[in-house]
A and B are shown apart, each in its own frame.
Chain A
């Protein structure tokens, strides 16, 4: 989360003012026990697994104390230890230790859940399913939040990325070893491995294509200096059209166009599929990109521009050496908003046959199979959070370099 709040990342390099240190201490004293308490309540009070007759049936709740045993207790002990050391002394080094403890708890818990699911399913018909339930999701979310906070407090460059990579590698190893095989999510994934990879690829092509198209469009629109008022009104009006409807309307428009100009079909453009999806998603990205571009170009104050003119810089040189560098943070910010929207909206492309992860989500909704919905939703959320965090980090870095 650190990239989202200006001035919160990488502050360890300079000594924080005493008032801030006091604030950190106060937060740690209240926050760490509170978070740990919530986590323990969810771990032992809510069902961690649900055992169902098949993938569509409602499951019977299974609790950690009975199904998990030692793994649950050791994860709980690790979390309590992390909370206690942070509460006692919230320094950067202790935050690093807490992050290590929480990461270990996460791994122990996931491995434990996989094992518990396998035990539950032993001797049952093959259609039976053990899926993660509310307690497990709450605990995972709280562990994630705790990890994010500790990593931010530790303020080591690259620690967050390294931790994510390490956890991902451990997940892959656990998956390869068959530790997670009994979890319903893994069963759904095994049934659709090829489809999954293709869907992620399609989703990225849709999102990136729309972003590219909208960037070109935004540059072209901002070149039309006299029509800026009209452009602003038009782009804002697009935002209130529901995305589902715009995609539908584009299908109708394209089919009308193809009827009039059949030659377009030879170019690989169809009324359904990727062409209307990219067009439709791009339409929504135009507003943030165009607005960001305009603000970025107006970011330098008049005195700076006068100085540039006085130095004899041409308009192109002023643009490249003054306007773009000064406006870079704003531009990256616009790109961040647009990429997150693009990844989200690309989901709807599945409604008009463009594929992507949305197809898995909508299949899951049609079959009312929660684990299939999750299988599509998890990568979408991961992609959009990654875009938000990475570009947010870049935005903060650009802002710091400037000021």
Chain B
């Protein structure tokens, strides 16, 4: 029973995600656009929408993998004793990276990395790095010093303390940071459409250019739906980790 209760936030997010996903259906989106007073226009077919959603998800997942590797790695590095003087520099770098808007990262990377996925991935890493880095560092710092000292007294090496004490105790905090990063990545990947990556942002940008409301609605609802579903998956994972 308690297990079900800990899964409740995940179920709520999943329900919102499914409702928004239903809104992507061509018939529903057209009906909503008509309700807003738009003239009926062509909607995006379901298979096309599905392909875009898959691509979007793959891009966001790749972005999350890069962000997680870099962010968690730097977070662990920043909390090592020897790295204490570098801490401010690492933190400042991540904050500066987040201050550059994703659309500007995409635009700047376009001439260097070309069209499509790579500039979008770079934007995702820039945007997600700081939350993951700060989340990881503060989760590791919150590990009680007694636990660390006890492990050292038992004769564990620094590496063993990290792997067997610090990371397991910090896991809920790290998963929480990754959840934020995943939702950010899913919402931000839509910007990649401006660099020609085929994501759920593509129908939005195309709709904006052709003044066609229906695909715009479908892309919007699709992105939000994906974000909620990913949030639900991470919430469920967090509930399982905490158990």
Could you list which residues of chain A lie within 8 angstroms of chain B, going by C-beta atoms? 1-2, 4-5, 8, 23-24, 26-27, 31, 148-149, 237, 239-249, 251-253, 256, 259-260, 340, 343-345, 347-348, 351-352, 358, 361-362, 364-365, 368, 370, 373-374, 376-377, 380-381, 384-385, 387-388, 392
Known: A240-B186, A361-B103, A374-B108. 6 other contacts (CB 8 A): A242-B190, A245-B204, A344-B100, A362-B107, A368-B110, A388-B96
Contact of A249 among B84, B200, B217 (CB under 8 A): B217
Q: At the interface, yes or no: B88 with Cβ under 8 Å from chain A?
A: yes
How near does chain A come to B82, taking the closest CB pair, in angstroms? 8
B208 touches A244 (CB 8 A): yes
Q: At the interface, yes or no: B205 with Cβ under 8 Å from chain A?
A: yes
Contact of A244 among B85, B95, B191, B224 (CB under 8 A): B191
Chain A neighbourhood of B88, CB < 8 A = 1-2, 4-5, 8
Chain B neighbourhood of A237, CB < 8 A = 16, 224
Chain A neighbourhood of B99, CB < 8 A = 340, 344, 381, 384-385, 387-388
Bound state CA distance, A368 and B111, in angstroms? 7
Q: Knowing A343-B101, A380-B101, A388-B99 touch, does A246 contact B220 (C-beta < 8 A)? A: yes
A245 touches B220 (CB 8 A): yes
Say what secondary structure dominates the interface of chain A.
helix
Bound state CA distance, A186 and B231, in angstroms? 46
Bound state CA distance, A80 and B49, in angstroms? 56
Say what secondary structure dominates the interface of chain B.
helix
How near does chain B come to A314, taking the closest CB pair, in angstroms? 38
* B 91-135 binary contact with A (CB < 8 Å = 1; else 0): 111011011111110011011000000000000000000000000
Contact of A373 among B38, B89, B101, B110 (CB under 8 A): B110
Contact of B187 among A241, A247, A256, A340 (CB under 8 A): A241
Chain B neighbourhood of A31, CB < 8 A = 86
Q: At the interface, yes or no: B36 with Cβ under 8 Å from chain A?
A: yes
Chain B neighbourhood of A148, CB < 8 A = 92
Could you list which residues of chain B lie within 8 angstroms of chain A, going by C-beta atoms? 16, 33, 36-38, 84-89, 91-93, 95-96, 98-104, 107-108, 110-111, 183, 186-188, 190-191, 193-195, 200-201, 204-205, 207-208, 213, 216-217, 219-220, 223-224, 227-228, 231
Chain B neighbourhood of A351, CB < 8 A = 205, 208
Most buried by A among B37, B96, B107, B228: B107
How near does chain B come to A117, taking the closest CB pair, in angstroms? 18
B216 touches A242 (CB 8 A): no
Cβ-closest chain A residue relative to B223: A242
Q: Knowing A240-B187, A253-B36, A347-B101 touch, does A248 contact B224 (C-beta < 8 A)? A: no
Q: Knowing A24-B85, A245-B190 touch, does A256 contact B36 (C-beta < 8 A)? A: yes
B220 touches A242 (CB 8 A): yes
Chain A neighbourhood of B219, CB < 8 A = 242, 245
A1 touches B111 (CB 8 A): no
Chain B neighbourhood of A249, CB < 8 A = 216-217, 220
Bound state CA distance, A373 and B91, in angstroms? 28
Chain A neighbourhood of B186, CB < 8 A = 240
Cβ-closest chain B residue relative to A22: B85
A240 touches B85 (CB 8 A): no
Q: Knowing A340-B99, A377-B108 touch, does A245 contact B201 (C-beta < 8 A)? A: yes
Q: Knowing A241-B223, A241-B224, A365-B110 touch, does A344 contact B86 (C-beta < 8 A)? A: no
Chain A neighbourhood of B201, CB < 8 A = 242, 244-245
A344 touches B205 (CB 8 A): no
Contact of A259 among B16, B37, B183 (CB under 8 A): B37
